[in-house]
């Protein structure tokens, strides 16, 4: 698979399409507009959490949030873009996450992670896109992309300590 690096799309369209078709919820998110009847009156958009600690500690702190998101009744994926550590199926299951609802996306060297996040958000195949971007100025772009794709963006800004 090849990814466009600096021009055109940062997303490999077949990757997401094939992942959607392979999932049990498959075509539901492609044929229906997402419905957000979870009792909250908030529109899709962007949120950010700041965490301090080692990547392993931060993932353990995030596990309950990710578990709730993976078990949400919203159509589509919980997409994790460039998590700070490799996430295995074993860790997902041990943390109570539903691996069939999670799409882990890793950018390649030279790819613009913000652009990748925005394109994944705008596609609208995910109910929530979780990113690990360090620049606090990315919030507005993530928010616009999340609204365009009718999904939520959660950025985790980590300050890594030894």
Element (H, E) at 56: helix 55-70
Q: What is the pLDDT of residue 53?
A: 87
Handedness of CA 142, 131, 104, 37 (dihedral sign): negative
Q: Which among 83, 105, 84, 102 is positioned nearest to 92, based on CA atoms?
A: 102
Q: Find the radius of gyration of the CA atoms of the chain.
A: 15
Q: What φ, ψ does residue 154 adopt, rounded to 5°? A: -125, 115
Residues of the chain with pLDDT under 50: 1-7, 24-41
Q: For 101-127, how does the pLDDT look when each residue is reduced to its tens digit (9 = 90+)? A: 999 999 999 999 999 999 999 999 999
CATH topology of domain 44-160: Rossmann fold (3.40.50)
- Going by the DSSP 8-state scheme, the letter that residue 108 receives in this structure is P
Element (H, E) at 149: helix 139-149
Strand partners, 159: 52
Q: What is the pLDDT of residue 136?
A: 81
Residue 11 · residue 108 · CB < 8 Å = no
DSSP-derived 3-state class of residue 126:
strand
Tokens of 96: 């109570």
Q: What is the pLDDT of residue 137?
A: 86
Integer Cα distance of 90 and 149 in angstroms: 30
- Going by the DSSP 8-state scheme, the letter that residue 19 receives in this structure is H
Q: What is the pLDDT of residue 52?
A: 87
What torsion do the CA atoms of 106, 126, 124, 5 make, to the nearest 10 degrees?
A: 0
Integer Cα distance of 84 and 107 in angstroms: 12
Residue whose structure tokens are 């990547």: 55
């Amino acid at each position: 698979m090849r990814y466009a690096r600096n021009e055109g799309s940062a997303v490999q369209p077949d990757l997401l399409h094939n992942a959607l078709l392979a999932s049990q919820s498959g075509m539901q998110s492609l044929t229906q507009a997402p419905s957000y009847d979870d009792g909250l009156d908030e529109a899709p958009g962007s949120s950010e959490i700041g965490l301090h600690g080692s990547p392993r500690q931060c993932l353990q702190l995030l596990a309950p949030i990710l578990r709730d998101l993976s078990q949400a009744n919203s159509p589509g994926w919980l997409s994790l873009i460039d998590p700070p550590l490799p996430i295995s199926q074993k860790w997902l299951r041990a943390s109570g996450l539903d691996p069939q609802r999670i799409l882990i996306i890793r950018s390649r060297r030279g790819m613009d992670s913000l652009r990748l996040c925005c394109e994944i958000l705008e596609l609208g195949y995910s109910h929530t896109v979780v990113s690990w971007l360090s620049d606090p100025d990315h919030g507005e772009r993530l928010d616009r992309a999340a609204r365009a794709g009718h999904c939520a963006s959660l950025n985790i800004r980590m300050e890594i300590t030894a």
